[in-house]
Chains A and B, each alone.
Chain A
Amino acid sequence: MKFAVIQFPGSNCDIDLYEALHTVCGADVAYVPSKESSLDGFDAVMLPGGFSYGDYLRAGAIARFTNIMPAIVDMANAGKPVFGTCNGFQILTEAGLLPGALKRNDSLKFVCKTVELEVENNNTIFTSEYQKGEKINLPIAHADGSFYADPETLKQIEDNGQVVFRYSKENPNGSLNNIAGITNERGNVLGMMPHPERAVEALLGNTDGLRLFKSILDHAEVKA
C-alpha cells in the first residue's frame, strides 16, 4: 500500500505524516507536491496540517484549487482512503469531500495542547484498531477548528455515524456537538482537527495516534 503525502505551499506537518508512516509504521510513502496532477500508483492520500497559502482568504480555500485536487477527488470517489488532519481537514471541507466547515475557534486564539477524545465510531478503515467509546488523547494545534454544519447536515452526519471522534472532556474550539473528526458518507474520507501523527512515539510522550495509521494499513492487508 503506497501513501501520498500532499505538499501544498505552506503545508508544514507534511514531515510529521511522512515520518509517522515511513519511520514509525514502516509504510511505503512519498511526498507529492500539489502542483502535480496525478496520484497514479498511490493507494491512499494524506493531507497534512499547516497553513496552505498562509490560510489567506480562509483556511483551505485556495488549496482546494491546486492541480492535485481532481486526483484527490478521484481517489475519494474510488473508495480509497483519503485522510486530512488540521489544515488537511479544512481543505477537505473546502473541496466538498466532507460536509460542514471549520470556523475560527471560540477563543479567537490559536491553541496547542493535548485533548481527550472519544472514539465514536470504530467501524471505519481509520479506526478499526480502537474500541468504540475508547478515550484517547491527541494533540491539537489550530486557530480555525470550530466545526460547523447547518442543522440538517449535522443531523445527517450524526444519523449516518459519520462522527468518528468527539471531544470528550473540554471542547477546545466551539465545535458543534463536540465534533473533532468526521468521515464522508461512504466512510473512506476522514477529516479531523487533532493530530494523530504527533502521537506515534513514546519518546514524544504519546502513542494514542499510532493505531489510526495501523488501522489503514490493516485494512490494506485485509483487502490484499
Chain B
Amino acid sequence: MMQEMTPEEIKEKKPYLDWSLSEEEYNYISEKLLHRLPNYTETGLFSAMWSEHCSYKKSKPVLRLFPTKGPRILQGPGEGAGVVDIGDGQAVVFKAESHNHPTAVEPYQGAATGVGGILRDVFSMGARPVATLDSLHFGELDDAHTRWLLNETVAGIGGYGNCMGIPTVGGELTFDDIYKGNPVMNAMSVGLLDVKDMQKGLAQGEGNAVMYVGAKTGRDGIHGATFASHSFDSEHESQRSAVQVGDPFMEKLLLEACLELTQKHADWLVGIQDMGAAGIVSSSSEMASEGKSGMELNLDLVPQREPGMSAYEIMLSESQERMLLCVKAGHEEDVKKIFDFYDLDAVVIGHITAGHNYVLRHHGEVVCDIPVSSLTEDVLEEPSEEKQPQHMLDDAAKPAWEPEIKDLADTYKKMLAQPTVASKEMFTQTYDSMVRTSTVVGPGEDSGVLRIRGTHKGIAMTTDGNGRFIYLDPEIGGKRAVVEAADNIIASGAEPLAITDCLNYGNPNEPEVFWELHHSVMGIAKACEVLETPVVSGNVSLYNETDDKSIYPTPMIGMVGLVKNLDHLVRDSFQEADDDLYLVGQTGADYAGSELQKMLVGEITGSLNDLDLDHIHDYQMRLLAEMEAGHVASAHDLSEGGLAVSLAESSFGHEIGADIKSDLTSAEFFSETPGRFLVSVPSEFSAEFAEKLGQDAIKLGQTGGDSLKVALKDQAVDLPVAELKQIWEEALPCLMKSKD
C-alpha cells in the first residue's frame, strides 16, 4: 500500500490542488476550522465535500433566488427529492440529476448510473419511483463519435430503467455542435408516496446505529464529485477514470428492501439517505449535520469488494446501489432481517455520538476527528465575477434576422427532418415505457402521464430545456424554459404543480458564464413565481466545457402536473375530423434562436423578445379550465418549428389532416413565440371555447381529410399527412445509419 502523506507533507506538496481544493480553502480549514493541519483522509473528505457538486459553493447565492414554498410543497430543496402534496394523503416526489461528465467518458455506464442515482434519491424519501424522464443534448449526428455516444447513452438509460422495471415515459433530445465534446445527460425520477411514509436524510439520537445497506464498496468512482466539478481538456485523459459501474438488479433489490422498511417499519428508522456523490462521507456527514449530531464510524466494518482499501478510498468511493440508514438502537437485527431476505448486506458501521464531531476509525486508529459542520456548513462560498456576454451586446446592436421563406412546401419538409424536430421513436422504443401498467401517455407527446392507482387522477411530467434561447438571453430564456414546461403540462390537461431543475453550465469562473447562470436563474425564478410552480429540488452541473469551449447554458426544467380527472386527459393528436382548430397565444416575430434560424442560417444570433408572464398564466389557466370541462379534443404546445411542426405532429397520430387559413406569413408559421398551443375543439363546444379564450385564441380552420391544407398570407400548400409523417419518422434512423 502506498504510504499516505503526513499533514506536513500535504501542507508542503499541496496534493489537494489536484482534488480541486484551493490553497485559500485549505488554509481556512487548517487555521480557522480545525486549528491544526488536516491529515490525508481529512483533506480528501474536505476536497470532496467542498466541491461544487456537494456544496454548491459557487451556485448557492444564485440558487437562493428560487421560490421554494407553496401550499402543496411538503419538502423543498435540500433533501433527496422534493415532495408535493396531491391530495388523498398522497404526494408526488421528484428530482433531476445531471450525469454529463461520466456520460462524456463512458456513455453507457455514465447514463445508467445517472438513472440509478436519481432513482435512489427518490426512494430514499420513502417513495416508489414510478417513472423516469431524460433530457439529452448532443452534438450533430454527422460525427461518428457523437452517434456512438448517443447510442450508448440511450442504451444505458434503457438498460438501467428497463431492468429496474420503472417506465421511461418522456424526455427530450436535441442536437447542436456546441454539445459535441460535452453532451448533456439529465435524468429525472418521479415517485409516489403516502405522505405518512415520508423519510428524511437525518441521523440523531445518541446510541442509534448507522447502518450500511446494499452493494459493497470498491474503488470505483473515487472523487467523482470533484471530477464533476472540473472541466475536460484533451490533455488530461487520466482524469477520466472516475466513472462508476451500475448494477440495476442490485438496485431493484435495494429498492424493494428499502420500501419494505419505510412502508412497514418506519418506526425502526430515524433517517435514510442515498450514498451518491462522495459516497459514505457525504451521506453520513449530511445526515449527522441535519440531526445536529456527532457520529463515529468504524471503516473496517464497511462491506468491501476489494482488499487493501485506504480510509480515503472507502469514504470517497462512489460505488453504486448503496444506502445509509440511521436505525433506532435495538432494531438493528430487525432491519438486517429485511435486507437478508433480498440477499443484501446490512451492517452496523457506526453510531450516533454525543457532541458534534465526525470520527472515523480504520485499522484501530482514528483517521478523522473533525466537527461535522466543517464538512457541511462551513464551506466557503466562492465569490464570483460576472459580466454580460459580449455576444449579447453585439447582437443587440444588429438588426433582427428576418427569415425569407421562398418555398413553403420545401421548407416545411426540411423542417420536419431536422434532428431536433424529427421523431425520436427509434430511441424511445428501446425504453420500457409501459412496465407497472400505469402509463396512460408514453414518450413522444408533450408530457408523459401516469394514472394513480386507486384514484381517477393522473400525474403529468415533462423535461424541457433549450440552450439556444438561454444563450441568446439568459433571463428571458430562463422564463421561456419554465413557460415551455408549463405549456407541455397544460397541453395534457394537467395543472402545473412544481419544478425540479438541472443547471448545466460551463466554467463559472468565466465571468460571462456566471452571468449566464445568475440571469437564467433570475428568469426561471420569476417565471416559477408567476406560474405558481415552486422549485422543490435540483442539481447543478458546472464546468461543462471542453478545451475552454463552454456548452450553451442549458438549464433543464422538469415539471410535474396533476390531472384531476383522467376522463379529461387531453392528447396531442387530432381525435376526429371536423373539429375546430384554434391557435392559443399571440404570434410574434420570434426567430432568434429558432429551429428555422438554425436550419436556414446555420448559427444562432439575435435578441429575444421578453414575455408577459402574467398574461400567459392567465390564458393558460382559462385553457386548462376548458380542458377540465371536457371541451377540448386535442392540444399540442408550440415549440421548435412553431405552428408548422405542431400542426404536422398533431395530424400524425391518427393521420387526420387539417384545413387552415390564416393571416400569418409563412415565416410566422415557423416562429417560436412561447406560450402557444394548437387546440382542436369539437364543434358543439367551439362557441363557448372561443368566448372563454377571447382575444387569446384565433380560429384557424378545421381538422379532417388526409392532407394539410395551409393557406397563409403569402403562400399556400397542400401536403399529404402520410408523406410528411414519413419524412418525420425516417429522418433520425437515416442520420444514425450514415457512414463516414
B249 contacts partner chain A, Cβ-Cβ < 8 Å: yes
Q: Quick one: which of B218-255 are within 8 Å of A by CB?
A: 247-250, 252-253
Against B, the Cβ 8 Å flags (1 = close, 0 = not) of A145-171 are 000000000000000000000000000
- B-contacting residues, A26-51, CB 8 Å: 35, 49-51
Residues of B within 8 Å of A141, CB to CB, are 162, 432, 434-435
Knowing A110-B430, A203-B440 are in contact, say whether A12-B155 is a contact too (CB < 8 A). no
- A51–B343 contact, CB under 8 A? no
Check A112–B253 contact: CB distance below 8 A: no
Interface string of A46-63 (1 = CB under 8 A from B): 000111011110000000
Q: Is the CB of A109 within 8 A of B430?
A: yes
Rounded to whole Å, the gap between the CB of A67 and the closest CB of chain B is 13
Interface size for A (C-beta < 8 A) is 33
Q: Does B436 contact A (CB under 8 A)?
A: yes
The verdict on A112 contacting B434 (CB below 8 Å), with A9-B249, A51-B249 known, is: yes
- Other-chain residue from A15, A55, A139, A200 in contact with B436 (beta carbon distance below 8 A): A15
Identity of the chain A residue whose Cβ is nearest the Cβ of B255 in the assembled complex:
A12
Q: List 19 interface pairs A-B (beta carbons < 8 Å), by A numbering.
A: A9-B252, A9-B343, A12-B165, A13-B165, A15-B436, A49-B435, A51-B162, A51-B252, A54-B163, A54-B248, A109-B430, A110-B432, A111-B429, A112-B432, A141-B432, A143-B162, A200-B437, A204-B437, A204-B439
Point out the residue from B248, B430, B438, B439 that lies within 8 Å of A51, measured CB to CB: B248
Say yes or no: A203 contacts B430, CB within 8 Å. Answer: no
Q: Is A16 touching B249 in the complex (CB atoms < 8 A)?
A: no
Seen from chain A, the residues whose Cβ lies within 8 Å of a Cβ on chain B are: 9-13, 15-16, 19-20, 35, 49-51, 53-56, 109-113, 139, 141, 143, 195, 197-198, 200-201, 203-205
Q: Are B163 and A198 in contact (CB under 8 A)?
A: no
**In contact, B155 and A109 (Cβ under 8 angstroms):** yes
Given A10-B163, A10-B249, A113-B429: A16 in contact with B158 (beta carbons within 8 A): no
- State how many angstroms separate the Cβ of A105 from the closest Cβ of chain B: 10
In the complex, what distance in Å separates the CA atom of A51 from the CA atom of B255? Answer: 14
Beta-carbon contact of A10 and B252 below 8 Å: yes
Contact A19:B165 (CB < 8 A) given known A10-B252, A56-B249, A112-B430: no
- Asked if residues A20 and B432 are in contact (CB atoms below 8 Å), the reply is no
| Contacts of B323-356 to chain A: CB distance below 8 A | 341-343
User: Counting CB contacts under 8 A, is B415 at the interface?
Assistant: no
Give chain A residues whose Cβ lies under 8 Å from the Cβ of B433.
112
Closest to A50 in B: B165
- Considering the chains assembled together, what is the distance between the CA atoms of A10 and B256 in angstroms? 10
B566 within 8 A of A: yes
Report chain A residues within 8 Å CB of B358. Answer: none
B519 beta carbon closer than 8 Å to chain A: no
Cα(A111)–Cα(B430), bound, Å: 5
Q: Determine if B58 is an interface residue (Cβ-Cβ < 8 Å).
A: no
Output the least CB separation between B131 and chain A (Å). 14
In the complex, chain B residues whose CB is within 8 Å of the CB of A20? 437
B652 contacts A by Cβ under 8 Å: no
Bound complex: CA of A63 vs CA of B505, how far in Å? 45
B residues neighboring A (CB under 8 Å): 155, 158-159, 162-165, 247-250, 252-253, 341-343, 429-440, 451, 453, 566
In the complex, A112 Cα to B428 Cα: how many Å? 8
Known: A51-B249, A112-B429, A112-B430. A13 touches B163 (CB 8 A): no
For residue B216, give the distance in angstroms from its CB to the closest CB of chain A: 16
Asked if B431 and A112 sit within 8 Å, CB to CB, the answer is: yes
Which residues of A lie under 8 Å from residue B453 when comparing CB positions? 19
Q: Which secondary structure dominates where chain A touches chain B? A: mixed
Cβ contacts under 8 Å, A56 to chain B = 249
- The list of the 8 closest CB pairs from A to B, nearest first, reads A12-B165, A54-B249, A51-B163, A16-B437, A141-B432, A112-B432, A110-B430, A113-B429
Structural contact, B436 and A16, CB atoms closer than 8 A: yes
Min CB distance A194 to B, Å, is 12
Interface core residue of B247, B341, B434 (most chain A CB under 10 Å)? B434
Q: Which residue of B lies closest to A172 (CB)?
A: B429
Bound CA–CA A155/B620 (angstroms): 62
Given A112-B434, A113-B429, A204-B437, the answer on whether A12 and B164 have CB atoms closer than 8 Å is yes
Q: State the CA gap A201–B438 with chains docked (Å).
A: 10
CA distance A56 to B249 in the complex (A): 9
Query: Closest residue of chain B to A113, judged by CB?
Result: B429
A51 to B437, CA, bound (A): 16
Measured between C-beta atoms, what is the minimum distance from B454 to chain A in Å?
Answer: 9
Say how far A48's CB is from chain B's closest CB, in angstroms: 10
In the complex, besides A112-B433, A139-B434, A200-B437, 9 extra interface pairs with C-beta distance below 8 angstroms are A10-B163, A13-B436, A19-B453, A20-B437, A55-B163, A110-B430, A110-B432, A141-B435, A203-B440
Q: Which residue of B lies closest to A17 (CB)?
A: B437
Instruction: Please report the C-alpha to C-alpha distance between residue A13 and residue B438 in the assembled complex, in whole angstroms.
Output: 12
What residues of A have a CB within 8 angstroms of the CB of B434 in the complex? 112, 139, 141, 195, 198, 204
Shortest distance between the CB of B116 and any CB in chain A (Å): 13
- Chain A residues whose C-beta falls within 8 Å of the C-beta of B165 in the assembled complex: 11-13, 50-51
CA of A204 to CA of B342, assembled, Å:
32
Contact of A54 (CB < 8 Å), options: B247, B341, B429, B451: B247
Note all chain A residues with C-beta closer than 8 A to B341.
35
- Give the Cβ gap from A41 to chain B, nearest Cβ, in Å: 22
Q: State the CA gap A204–B439 with chains docked (Å).
A: 7
Residues of A within 8 A of B429 (CB): 111-113
Across the interface, which residues of B come within 8 angstroms of A49, CB to CB? Answer: 435
Q: How far is the CA of A35 from the CA of B429 in the complex (A)?
A: 33
| B253 contacts A110, C-beta separation under 8 Å | no
How far, in whole Å, are A49 and B162 apart by their CA atoms in the complex?
Answer: 11
- In the complex, residue of chain B having the shortest beta-carbon distance to the beta carbon of A20: B437
- Residues of chain A within 8 A of B438, CB atoms compared: 204
A13 CB, min distance to chain B CBs, angstroms: 6
How far is A19 from B436 in the complex, measured between Cα atoms in Å? 9
Beta-carbon nearest neighbor of B427 in chain A: A109
Given the contacts A110-B162, A111-B430, A113-B429, A204 and B440 also touching, CB distance less than 8 Å: yes
Interface-centre pick from B249, B252, B342, B435 (highest chain A CB count, 10 A)? B435
Nearest CB of chain B from residue A140's CB, rounded to whole Å: 10
Instruction: Closest B residue to A55 by CB, please name it.
Output: B163
Given contacts A9-B342, A9-B343, A110-B162, contact A198 B437 (CB under 8 A): yes
Determine the distance from Cα of A125 to Cα of B437 in the docked complex, in whole angstroms: 24
Q: Output the nearest chain A residue to B343 by Cβ-Cβ distance.
A: A9
Contact of A53 among B158, B159, B249 (CB under 8 A): B249
A10 CB contacts on chain B under 8 angstroms: 163, 249, 252-253
| A31 CB → nearest B CB, Å | 12
CB distance from A164 to the nearest CB of B (A): 22
What's the nearest-Cβ distance from chain A to residue B283, in Å? Answer: 24
Cβ 8 A contact of A13, one of B431, B435, B439, B451: B435
Bound-complex Cα distance A19 to B432 (A): 18
Q: Which of B162, B249, B341, B437 has the most CB of A within 10 A?
A: B437
Expressed in whole angstroms, the Cα–Cα distance for A20 and B436 within the complex equals 11
For B342, the chain A residues whose CB sits under 8 A away are 9
Q: Separation in Å of the A218 CB from the closest CB of chain B?
A: 23
Chain A residue nearest in CB terms to B247: A54
Please name the residue on chain A nearest to B426 by beta carbon: A109
Chain B neighbourhood of A109, CB < 8 A: 155, 430
Complex contacts, B159 vs chain A, CB 8 Å: 110
Closest to A18 in B: B437
**A55→B342 CA distance, assembly (Å):** 16
CB-defined contacts of A54 to chain B, threshold 8 Å: 163, 247-250, 252
What is the CA–CA distance of A113 and B154 in the complex, to the nearest angstrom?
A: 16
Q: Please, how many angstroms separate the alpha-carbon atoms of A205 and B440 in the complex?
A: 7
Q: Which residues of B lie under 8 Å from residue A203 when comparing CB positions? A: 440, 451, 566
**What residues on B are CB-neighbors of A11 within 8 Å?**
165
Closest chain A CB from B345 CB (angstroms) = 15
Most chain B CB inside 10 Å of its own CB: which residue of A9, A20, A139: A9
